[in-house]
A and B are shown apart, each in its own frame.
Chain A
Amino acid sequence: MPEGTKNVGIAEIRTAKDPEVLSAHGLGSCVVVILYDEVRRLGGIAHPMLPSSRNHSVGGNPGKYMDTAVEALLGSLRQEGSEPSTLRAKLAGGANMFATLAYQAVPIGMRNAAAAREALGKAGVPIVAEDVGGTQGRSLQFTLSDGRVEVRNLNKPGVTL
C-alpha cells in the first residue's frame, strides 16, 4: 500500500485529492460510499455502520448512519467545489458473513446497501459501480489520481471498480 494512505475506519468520513490514496479495511456488513469528482480529481469515503439515523440520536457523529454520513460527505466535498452533479459514486461492502446470526429478515449488509442507494438517489449522485453483498469481507483502496477502487477479499485481489 502506498505510503501515506489514510484509512477510513468505522463511522468515519474522509476526503482527499490527487495524489492521495484512501483505504477502508475489513468491511463486513458495513457499506462504504466512495465519491469521486474526476475533473477536480478529489473525492471521499464514508464508512457508516447502520442504515438510518431515525430513532437514534446522532450525537456528535453523523458518520455512524448512512443518511447523515452521505449528507456530511457531500457537504465536505461541496466546500471543495464539488457539487453532487459532478460526483460519481461507487459502493462496496454489505456482506452477510454470519449466516447463523439470523437477527433480521433482511441482513444488515443489504439494508446498508439499500440505504446508500436511497441517500445517493435523493442527492442526485449516480452510482457507477458496486461490489456489494456476498459472504466475504472486503478491504479496498481508492486512488484519487484516477478514481479507481481496488477491492480485496481475504487479502487476495478481487474486483477493481
Chain B
Amino acid sequence: MSDPTKLLTEFQLDALKEIGNVGSGNAATALSQMVGKRVDMSVTKVLVLPIDGIAGFLGGNDRNVAAVHMPVYGELPCTALIFFPLDRIPELCSMLIGRNDEDPFALSELGRSAVKELGSILTGAYLSALFRFVHLQLIHGVPGLVVDMAQAVLDTVLVELEQRDEVAIVIETEFLENDRALTGSFFLLPEAGSLQKFFSAFTRAMGLPGNA
C-alpha cells in the first residue's frame, strides 16, 4: 500500500476537517445541555495515521490515558477509540458532573459513566457528521472504559480485533469550558477492507474522479 498518510488529498483532508467541525459543533451543543454550562469544542487536528504511529502521536509510549472504546456497526464497521490524558480526568469530571475529588486511578461509578457518556456523545456526533458527507449508515454500540497506558490499549485493540486495517482516522478536539481547555483524541479504526470503501464513498460524495 502506498504511504497511508498520503491517502487523502489536501481537499479531502479539508473535507474531513469539516466533518470534524460539524461533529464537534453537534457534540458541543449536546454537552452544553448535559452539563448546563456552555462548552465549546474545536478541531485541532485531522489526519490519517498508521496504527503504529498512534502511540507516538499521543506523546510517547508510556502515557496514561482514559480510553473509551466502542464498536461501530453498519456500512463501515470499525472501532471508535477516544483517549483523554489521565491526569486531566479530574478536571473533565469536574466539568461534566461537578465532582472535584475523582481519583483518576480509582474513578467512581459516576465518574466512569460520565467519561463513557462523553465518549459516546463524541462518537455519535462525528458519525452523524460523517453520514451527512458520505451517506454510510453507522451506529455506535455500548462504550467501555479502560484506564491504562496508551500503548497497552492500542496493543489490545490490535490483537483482539486482528482484522484491523493498517490506518486510523484521527480527529483531535479541544474542549473549552470557561477557562478550562482539554484535549481529547478520537480514532476511527476501520475493519480490514473498510477503509477503501470509506475513501470510495468519500470520493463519490465529493464528486471527484479517482478510486471510486
Using a CB–CB distance below 8 Å, which chain A residues touch chain B? 7, 9-10, 25-30, 49-50, 95, 97-101, 103, 108, 136-139, 154-155
7 additional contacts (CB under 8 A) given A10-B155, A29-B160, A137-B156: A10-B52, A28-B155, A29-B156, A98-B146, A101-B144, A108-B160, A137-B153
B149 contacts across to A, CB distance below 8 A? 25-26, 137, 139, 154-155
Most buried by B among A27, A100, A136, A137: A137
3 pairs of A and B residues whose beta carbons are closest in the complex:
A26-B151, A137-B152, A28-B156
Interface size on B, residues (CB 8 A): 27
Given known contacts A25-B62, A100-B144, A155-B64, is B159 in contact with A50 (CB within 8 Å)?
Answer: yes
Using a CB–CB distance below 8 Å, which chain B residues touch chain A? 52, 55, 61-62, 64, 69, 71, 105, 142, 144, 146-162
Q: Give the Cβ gap from A8 to chain B, nearest Cβ, in Å.
A: 12
Complex contact B152–A26 (CB within 8 A): yes
Q: Using a Cβ cutoff of 8 Å, how many contacts connect chains A and B? A: 89
A98 contacts across to B, CB distance below 8 A? 69, 144, 146, 156-157, 160
Q: Measured between alpha carbons, how far is A150 from B144 in the docked complex, in Å? A: 29
B147 contacts across to A, CB distance below 8 A? 154
A100 contacts across to B, CB distance below 8 A? 69, 142, 144
B105 contacts across to A, CB distance below 8 A? 154
Q: Measured between alpha carbons, how far is A47 from B138 in the docked complex, in Å? A: 35
| Listed A/B pairs (5) with beta-carbon separation below 8 Å | A98-B157, A101-B160, A136-B148, A139-B151, A154-B147
Given known contacts A50-B162, A137-B149, A154-B105, is B155 in contact with A26 (CB within 8 Å)?
Answer: yes
Residue in A10, A25, A30, A97 whose beta carbon sits within 8 Å of that of B146 in the complex: A97
